[in-house]
A and B are shown apart, each in its own frame.
Chain A
Amino acid sequence: GAVVSQHPSWVICKSGTSVKIECRSLDFQATTMFWYRQFPKQSLMLMATSNEGSKATYEQGVEKDKFLINHASLTLSTLTVTSAHPEDSSFYICSAPDRALGNTEAFFGQGTRLTVV
C-alpha cells in the first residue's frame, strides 16, 4: 500500500532556532499534502494544505511566516518551524491522499515530536 514517510520522528531544539520536517510520499505522487498539529489530549488540527508548485493554504490562526511550507515536488513537502519557541512544542503530522485511487483514505506520516527548550 501507499506509504508516507515523515522525518525526523522526534527533534529537540533550542529556542530561537529553526526546524525542518520532511514529508515524503514513497510510492505515489501527491499534489496535495496536509500538515496537522496535535496538542495533548486534543484533536488533530489542520495547519495548512500544501500544494505542489504553488503556495500553501493556511488555516485561520496559523502564522504562515512562522510555519513555512514548501511543496517543491510531487513527492516531498517540508514544514519549517522558524524561530521556534517552547509553545511550538507539539506533535506534527503530515498526510497525503492518493487521489489516483479515487476516494480513499489519506496516508499519514509517522509524526514528528518537536520539543523546544
Chain B
Amino acid sequence: DQQVKQNSPSLSVQEGRISILNCDYTNSMFDYFLWYKKYPAEGPTFLISISSIKDKNEDGRFTVFLNKSAKHLSLHIVPSQPGDSAVYFCVADTGNQFYFGTGTSLTVIP
C-alpha cells in the first residue's frame, strides 16, 4: 500500500523556468515531510523539509508547500538548472519510519 505517491514519474522543464514536483499522501497522521534528490548509483541527498505546523518552507531556489487538508505537498525549484536533473523523492517521516514516494525524474533542458 503506497502511502506516499508521486503521480508524475517524469518531468521536463526548460532551464530558468520553474519546476513543480507534486506529492500526495494518504495517512493524516504524517506530520513531517522531506524531499530528497537522487542521482543514479548514489544515495539520496536531503533537500528540504517541512513540518505540518507550517504550510511553506523556503531554502534558496527550493520551496516546499504543504496543504494538510488536501494531503498534498509540492516542491518548487526556481530557477531550474541543468544540475537539478535527478530523481526527486517525497518522504514522510513518522519518527519511527520513513515512507518514500515513487519518485519523479526531473530533466532540466539547457
Q: Do B41 and A91 have beta carbons less than 8 Å apart?
A: yes
Does more than half of chain A's interface fall in helix, strand or loop, or is it mixed? strand
Assign chain B's interface to a size class: 20 to 34
Rounded to whole angstroms, the CA-CA distance of A6 and B89 in the bound complex is 20
Contact partner, A103, options B43, B95, B103, Cβ 8 Å = B95
Which residues of chain A from 76 to 112 have any CB-CB distance to chain B below 8 Å in the complex?
91, 93, 95, 97, 99, 103-111
Could you say which residues of chain B place their CB within 8 Å of the CB of A6? 43
Pick the interface stretch among B44-52, B60-68, B73-81. Answer: B44-52
Q: Do A43 and B89 have beta carbons less than 8 Å apart?
A: yes
A75 at the interface (CB under 8 A from B): no
Rounded to whole angstroms, the CA-CA distance of A107 and B102 in the bound complex is 19
Per-residue interface assignment for chain B, residues 28 to 46, with 1 indicating a CB less than 8 Å from any chain A CB and 0 otherwise = 0000101010000111111
**Closest partner residue, chain A, to B103 (CB atom):** A43
Contact partner, A46, options B46, B100, B102, Cβ 8 Å = B100
B residues apposed to A, CB below 8 Å: 32, 34, 36, 41-46, 49, 51, 89, 93, 95-98, 100-103
